[in-house]
Chains A and B, each alone.
Chain A
Amino acid sequence: MNKKPEKLINKKGLRLDGRKPDELRPVKIEVGVLANADGSAYIEHGKNKILAAAFGPKEMHPKHLSLPDRMVLRCRYHMAPFSVGERKSPAPSRREIELSKVIRECLEPSVFVEYYPRTGVDVFIEVLQADGGTRCASITAASLALADAGIPMRDLVVACAAGKIDDTVVLDLFDTEDKVGCADVPVAFMPNLNAVTLLQMDGILTPEEFAKAVNMAIDGCRKIYDLQKEALKTKYMLIGQEEEVEE
C-alpha cells in the first residue's frame, strides 16, 4: 500500500508530477480508430487511456425504447478490470452507472436529436487505464466519436476538471491529487455556445474557490477543444490538401 504523500505542492509551487497549478497534463487524441464503429476516438490524457465508439443512428432494439419524435442517446461508461491499481470487477459498479447517466446527459445537449425520430445511437466508453479525470477524458473522446459518425451536432463537447490540493486551486487533478486533495470539480463545456453540460463537485470549497475552480476548468476545456478540433480535422485531411474541388 502506497504511503499518502504529505504535501501535494512543494515549496517551489510545483506539483508531485512537476506541473504548475494551472498546467494541463499532456493530451493526445486520434479519431477514427475502430473500423467497425460508425464513429470512434482514442484519447490519452496524462496516464488515462480511453477508447470511445458510437454506433448509429439506427433503429432501436427493443423498439419500445425508441421515442416517436426524437433520437435516443444511450451511453455506457465502463472501466476495464486492469485499468486501476487494484483489479476492478468487470460488473458495472454504482459509480459507473452514475457516470454513464451523467455523461449521457452531458452529450445530449450537443446532438440534434429531433432530426432522427424513432432511432437510437449507442456510445460506448472503455477506460483502458485510469489516472484521475477519466470522466472528463471520456467525454472529450465520446463527443469526437459522435462527430466521426457523421451525427449533426451543435458543437463538440469537451471536458476538464479543476480542484483544490493543499490550499491551492489547481487544474486537472491526477489520481493521487484527486484521492488526497480537498475537492474535485469536473466540468464539460460546449465552447461556441458557452454552455456547461456537466458540473459536479465533491470535497469542500468556499463559494469563491468553487467559482475559481469552474473558471479554471473552463479555460482547460478551451485548450483541449483546440486539440479536439485538430484531431477531427487530421482524420479528414490528406497530407498536402488542396483547395479546389471539382463539382
Chain B
Amino acid sequence: MVAYVIRRLFQLVIVLLGVSVITFAIMFLIPGNPAQLLAGRNPSPERVAIIRHHFGLDKPVYEQYLLFLDRLVHGDLGESFQFQRPVTSMILSNLGNTAQLAVSAVLIELLGIPLGIYSALRQYSFWDTALTTSALIIWGIPVFVLGLFMQTVFGLYLGILPVSGGGGRTFLYVFPADWTNLSVLILPAVTLGLIEVAYISYMQRASMLEVIRSDYVRTARAKGLPERSVVLKHSLKNAIIPVMTIAGIDLGALMGGAILTETVFSRPGIGLMIYQAIGARDLPVVAGGVLFATLVYVIANLLVDIGYAYVDPRIRYED
C-alpha cells in the first residue's frame, strides 16, 4: 500500500511539472506579445516594460520558464493588474465561499447513490424507468440553464430564495451560521447538486447492475447467504467504488471554483473571480485561478486513487 502511495506521489510531481510547462507555454509562448497580454487592458508602455522585466521576457525561454516555476513553487501566482493585488491573496479570500458551495453540492450529489442502487434492484420497474429518463434529461442540461430555471421558479415566482449574492456568516468556513448565508447557498448548491445527482445515480445504477449479474454474486447466492448480505455486503462494496471516486473528483473540481454556477448566481467565489478577470482580460488572475484549481484537482484525484486502492486491493498492484 505504501509503495503504491509513493508511486502515485511521484507521478503527481511529474504531472504538476507538466502542468506548469503547459501553462507556461500557453501564457508565454502562444501569444504574439506576452508582455502586452500580461499587462492588461490598454497598458501604458511603461507598464509593459515593467511586466517584461518582471517576467524576464527578454531572457531565453528556459530561463523564463525557470523564473516562472520558481515563483509558482513559492506560491506567487502573479498580480492582478486591475486590483494591484497578489492573485494568491485574492484566491484565499474567495476560498471559503467556494469551499462551502463545493461541499454542499457534493453532499447533495451523494443522494444519487441510494437512488441508483434502488433503481438497479428494481430494474424495469416504473420507478427505474422514470429515474433513468429524468437522470438523462437533467444530466444534459447545462448548469447555467438549470440555474436560470431555479432562479425563475424559486426566486421570481415563489420568491422564497434570493437569486444572487453571497455573504452571511459561516461556521468553520463551510457551515452556514445564519439565514443569509444559508439562503444564498441553497439555490446554487441544489443546481450543481441536481445535475450531479442525475449523473451519479445513472452511474451507480449501471455499476450496481453489473455487479448483481457478476459471477461472485451468483456464488454468494449459491452459498445460501441472506439477500440482505448479498446486496449490502457483496454487491455494495464493489458497486460503490466507481461512484465514490466520481464524487471525490467532483469535490476536487468544484474546489477550483464552479465558474458557471457562481456567475449565474452572482455568488462570490473563485469562479466569479475568474469570470470577472476574463472580462477584464486580467490574464494573471485567470492563469493563477486555473493553476490553483488544477493543483486542487490533481490532489483530489490522488486522494481518490489512494482511497480506491484501499478499498479494492487489486489496484495496488497495477500501474
The answer to whether A and B come from one shared complex is no
Residues of B within 8 A of A (CB): none
Residues of A within 8 A of B (CB): none
